Amino acid sequence: MKNEQQKWRNFSGEFFDQSIAAIIESAIIREQKAGHRLKVCVGSDSQAYKSHVEYATVVVVLREGKGGFMFMRNHKGTRQIGIKERMLKEVTMSVEEAYAICDILDKYNVALEVHADINTDPKFESNIALRDAMGYILGMGFVFKAKPYAFASSSCADKVV
């Protein structure tokens, strides 16, 4: 599947030419220098259209008790796929970004969570991918969160997809 991928940007619309690891490291240094305790959450979401699927991946940096900010990147898939495959594609995108930044986070002692936009209630369609997504994320050694606790994917990425 052909994929069109944008650069990383912040919520203000500023685009970055660096890798997500370099962007996050700069942010951590700045925020820790200001005295903030940090946690990073990574999540992805998608929106299916008749001819394609649009994806968004976010890396949210939370300041303990002081709000946070995020970096985002959009992708456009050129073909329609099923719900389970789409949910697992979102998870794969999140895990790839988490893997890209995990060494930086370890270096600065920052916690990491990977959020999946998958409902834990079996009544919802996305639940079909829950076990696979959970196994993949936990198997990669990351902390897993699903709805309703997966705000990085279900709220943040949802707003920019």
36-75 tens-digit pLDDT: 999 999 999 999 998 899 999 999 999 999 999 999 999 9
Contact 59, 101 (CB under 8 A): yes
Which secondary structure element, helix H or strand E, spans residue 87, and what is its range?
helix 83-107
15-40 mean pLDDT: 97
Rounded-to-integer distance, Cα 7 and Cα 14, Å: 10
pLDDT at 106 over 90: yes
**What's the pLDDT band for 80 if we cut at 50, 70, 90?**
confident
**What's the pLDDT band for 114 if we cut at 50, 70, 90?**
very high
pLDDT at 91 over 90: yes
Instruction: Identify the pLDDT of residue 87.
Output: 95
> Does residue 94 sit in helix, strand or coil?
helix
Domain encompassing residue 119: 3-160
Counted domains in the chain = 1
Instruction: Identify the pLDDT of residue 6.
Output: 82
Query: What are the residues whose beta carbons fall under 8 Å from the beta carbon of 136, sequence distance 6 or more?
Result: 88, 91, 92, 95
136-144 mean pLDDT: 97
CA geometry: angle at 110 spanning 109 and 113, to 5°?
140
Radius of gyration of the chain (CA): 15
Rounded-to-integer distance, Cα 81 and Cα 48, Å: 8
pLDDT at 12 over 60: yes
Rounded-to-integer distance, Cα 48 and Cα 122, Å: 21
Rounded-to-integer distance, Cα 64 and Cα 158, Å: 23
For 82, counting Cβ atoms within 10 Å of its Cβ (0-12 exposed, 13-18 middle, 19+ buried), the class is exposed
Instruction: Identify the pLDDT of residue 156.
Output: 95
